[in-house]
Chain A
């Protein structure tokens, strides 16, 4: 890290007092270190620190390419995912880079479609569970007392319920669309976020700027939304990224068990499940979607890692 940017800027502030630009229109040039420091915003610092985490940046690029590729590629690729071709059981070739499966469908088209569905599910799960978790954790941590006790016991209850059994039950009841699947998964993914947000709030609510905001006449809702959540946003984002990775795996497992997304639609989990029956003879049917799952989960994790470092300056400095 570049030291002058991060240390308390008393020096910078004093420097500034001496160096009032004579012309207010003059932009701070590279030589005016003090001004350059003063204008650097928190957001840019975070972006800067994230960019220093090389693995996270590479992962982010790959992830974005995968997501955009699956969304756009599915439309552009010359075969549809449900399209029946005259050939079947073809090994990868130039015409069909991932081969053709036993009933004559182009595997690349299916993988693109599957990745799209899986990513869709994962992002929706992350959004829903982060929202639920943040609300529950914020209310519990801010109001404490009975409300906190009730909400946290509910959280505990959700944590101890055998999730797979409930997934199976719910999937049977609500059916197998990708949207329903996301709801089911999200219903069991918000608890860690609720706990983390609650812990953050318990400590943040004691800070003086919360008292100061209240002394200014701010109400509870405003304090929670405008003062506490922005200060906890680092851990919320980081945990949301972790949820994305775990949700992809959850979707995969459920679809693999035949309880998630059902044919003719497809997902990566479903493809793995379909491909494993021919694992001995045509392993590529299994490997391509499988590798994609690993790649997505891995890159999301690295991005989350990078985000955590970016939001926590102490950790990132210790590493370098």
Chain B
């Protein structure tokens, strides 16, 4: 038989990255920074967004795209804290959002009336690390109930992130978790990570997060 070889040499993520670049162009044209929130399930992405929408929703125009494998529960929760439509992406089994979904979701986001876009990714510390969504930065969350070694167990995610939020710090007195050890492990993986330490219940540490968000918006204007 005659077998011919076709040289391809094409990156598997090329199509996704092309769409991510288009998302980035659209956001830049409207001066909208976008944060891609990533974490394992239950780390507190939705709770952090609830407090954020509650605290900043009157001053800033905040838009949210939220992804889940099934249900629109997160979108429903967040809708209680904003008058704007929360874009829900149900991935139907996929373990991450991709740039095509964000590209499509942006059609329904009034970018002219948006100061900041949050993308709440599917709860998963592995897969979302490989997909560029066109975001300004990834924010990785992990909770004090998860153990200090999450960053070294899931290094790609912590390498890809620019910011880290340690959540549920109100539980520190009740769980065997050493905050400094967790930070050291994260910085071993990514020395440039900027940390926030928050509790969505007691609101501890949220002021620093809110200040960071306000500055991010101001810089983009």
Bind each other: no
